[in-house]
Structure 1
Amino acid sequence: MGQQHHGQCRHGQGGGHEHGHGHERGHGHGHGRHDHSDLDWAEVADYLEAQAELFAPLNRRAAAWVATWQPEPGLVVDVGSGPGIVSCQLADTFPGARVVALDGSGPLLERARARAERQGLADRFGTLEAELPDGLGDLEYPADLMWASRSLHHLGDQRAALAAFAERLAPDGVLALVEGGLPSRFLPRDIGIGRPGLQSRLDAAEDRWFSEMRAAQPGSVPEVEDWPGLLTAVGLRDATSRTFLLDLPAPVPEAARAYAVSQFQRGRGMLADFLDASDLATVDRLLDPDDKAGLHHRTDLFVLAAHTVHVARR
């Protein structure tokens, strides 16, 4: 509800795969090894596209910063691309590059191809349907830039997966890893209904949910979330981080309101077991389109998100 994990883990993600699916802990993306058979991919894709389009200003600034590290890559790979919104942004940022959107979902990659076609990028845009991390071996060439937004935390052994990412970089290639940041904020501390501090309790519930999600991944290995330290541990150099904000103050545009509603809806489904009855009742009021204190009508609704990008070089 606040943190969006990118990736589609029967969690909801993300935001993101998007770049993200559903909750993106700390936008969205990545598919680990999950059973996708129960998903309505059109619904997932609509959600991910709306999320990524809202976060486009943040991702553009992040990509511009990464470009100071790798100004003219020949091959850019978006690892866990989802429906390709950020992949296409990367193609804009790096007009001389070939861009490959890599994801475990064929339906989402179809969306990515269609978007690239609409934006006139098809001649230098490709897709690769593959599960992480093994599918990186299917890349024809090493990547000059690899962008991995919230896909890593859906893989059981994150260190081993990072090592696989690093292995597929060209000499002097750059890995940009989007993980962490801060829980997103949508409402003030006291919203006039329920107990004050709802968002902090939602964050605590999401932390518990996230720990259980991590532990349930196949081959899950506990790992200290020191991302620059992990990038260094797998043999990359010059690791550093920078955080980018999405700041949409009240009154928000309708797209931001719709995003907030979708985040609370997903959170309501994911976190019900972690919240007490009074907080669930408050969330239900917030989601009620007819309740004047709900998200559909509130004038104090805002979107404030902070995503951290960690970069390192081979």
Structure 2
Amino acid sequence: MTSEHGHASHHDGPHRHGEEHDDAGQAEILDLDAEVLAAHIADITARLPLTAQPRRIVDLGSGTGAGTFALLDRFPDAHVTAVDSSAGHLTLLREKACARGLDGRVHTVEADLDADAWPDLGRPDLVWASASMHHMARPDRALRTVHELLSPGGLFAVVELDGFPRFLPAHAPEDRPGLEERAHAATDHFHAEHVPHRGADWGPMLTAAGFDVEDERTVTVNIDGTRSDAVGRYALRSLERIRGVAAPGLDAEDLAALDALLDESGPHSIARRGDLAVRTERTVWAARRP
């Protein structure tokens, strides 16, 4: 289960099919997401209501390692087991760990978290699931499995995004204002069918699974695009991922304007714009196994 960037649309579907080109494209977006939102991820890890420094951590739906490396940075004595369904993403994660001298603190496990039985993941003190729980076919079962997995008193951190980030100002592009919102609206039916738990309130489900929810908060993300060259690439690759799903729901003028934004060499490429921002919200639930 890869976090938040799989399937045919960009963020909102699990990576299940294993096509190499899709795997590589998804990996690039995950890496850009980690780069652009690094400070927000670090802040979330810093504010977890931990009673002690965790030594054994499981990252569910680790992708290429955004959460894994943020947790390793935050907890220097911890070891992380990174779990994902994509062998390609886990290979990249291991390569990053080696390059950073952290390979002794990272263990990767390829697994489908919708399977009836999970592999042995030890007895962690902290389980981290960032933008992965809403992909679960049976999240209630997954939550109960995490509850059984955690050591008594251990913490489960669920981080979910409020959908796909927005990048353009409302008046853009100049010839088709509001195009970005219309493109996202055109994917609503797909998301309702394939990721029905996106936007769910995980608090009651965590309580039903036996957890004590100790904290719930929403983090607002608004990053000025001029702060990082990566924002333009992030916007470009992200909008490329939703085009295939959005296209049938867009009129010819909107589709032409979207293609102009996605033309990297063209004068209207989104990557060339100086008015981009990354706007989204993340909600964090911190739940403890009694």
TM (norm. structure 1) is 0.82
SS of aligned partner of 1:138: coil
Separation (CA, whole Å) in 2 of partners of 1:95 and 1:197: 45
1:33-75, Cα deviation, whole Å (9 max, x unpaired): x221464534432332222222211111111112x33541121
SS of aligned partner of 1:264: helix
What code does the residue aligned with 1:99 have? Answer: V
Separation (CA, whole Å) in 2 of partners of 1:296 and 1:106: 30
Q: Is the 8 A contact 2:56 2:79 kept in 1?
A: yes
2:149 aligns to what? Answer: 168
Shift of 1:98: 1.4
- After superposition, residues 78-93 of structure 1 pair within 5 angstroms as 78-93=59-74
245-254 or 92-101, larger mean C-alpha shift: 245-254
SS of aligned partner of 2:153: strand
1:128-176, Cα deviation, whole Å (9 max, x unpaired): 1111044873224222111111212222112222222222111011111
Alignment partner of 1:113 is 2:113: no
1:127 aligns to what? Answer: 108
Alignment partner of 1:6 is 2:11: no
Q: Is the 8 A contact 2:167 2:277 kept in 1?
A: yes
2:35 aligns to what? Answer: 53
What code does the residue aligned with 2:11 have? Answer: H
Separation (CA, whole Å) in 1 of partners of 2:85 and 2:164: 26
Separation (CA, whole Å) in 2 of partners of 1:134 and 1:306: 30
What code does the residue aligned with 1:124 have? Answer: R
Alignment partner of 1:285 is 2:267: no
- After superposition, residues 96-107 of structure 1 pair within 5 angstroms as 96-107=77-88
TM (norm. structure 2) is 0.88
1:74-117, Cα deviation, whole Å (9 max, x unpaired): 21000011112320211111112111111112221121112112
Alignment partner of 1:248 is 2:223: yes
- RMSD across aligned positions (CA): 2.5
Separation (CA, whole Å) in 1 of partners of 2:116 and 2:127: 14
Separation (CA, whole Å) in 2 of partners of 1:286 and 1:49: 21
Separation (CA, whole Å) in 1 of partners of 2:199 and 2:275: 37
1:230 aligns to what? Answer: 205
Separation (CA, whole Å) in 2 of partners of 1:265 and 1:224: 22
Separation (CA, whole Å) in 1 of partners of 2:137 and 2:217: 25
What code does the residue aligned with 1:146 have? Answer: V
What code does the residue aligned with 1:231 have? Answer: L
- After superposition, residues 184-199 of structure 1 pair within 5 angstroms as 184-199=165-180
Separation (CA, whole Å) in 2 of partners of 1:95 and 1:135: 33
Shift of 1:299: 1.9
44-53 or 143-152, larger mean C-alpha shift: 44-53
Q: Is the 8 A contact 1:83 1:109 kept in 2?
A: yes
2:232 aligns to what? Answer: 257
1:148 aligns to what? Answer: 129
Q: Is the 8 A contact 1:130 1:136 kept in 2?
A: no
Q: Is the 8 A contact 2:183 2:250 kept in 1?
A: yes
1:19 aligns to what? Answer: none
Q: Is the 8 A contact 2:67 2:130 kept in 1?
A: no
Separation (CA, whole Å) in 2 of partners of 1:43 and 1:267: 12
Separation (CA, whole Å) in 2 of partners of 1:240 and 1:169: 18
- Say which structure, 1 or 2, has more relative contact order (CA 8 Å, 6+ apart): 2
1:302 aligns to what? Answer: 277
Structure 1: gaps (5+ residues):
13-21, 216-221
Separation (CA, whole Å) in 1 of partners of 2:226 and 2:146: 41
Separation (CA, whole Å) in 1 of partners of 2:57 and 2:116: 16
Identical aligned residues as a percent: 35
Alignment partner of 1:274 is 2:262: no
SS of aligned partner of 1:177: strand
Structure 2: gaps (5+ residues):
none
Summarize the Cα distance change of 1:288–1:113 in structure 2 as closer, same or farther, 3 Å threshold: closer
1:225-282, Cα deviation, whole Å (9 max, x unpaired): 2211111111100343222243321435321111011111111122212322222122
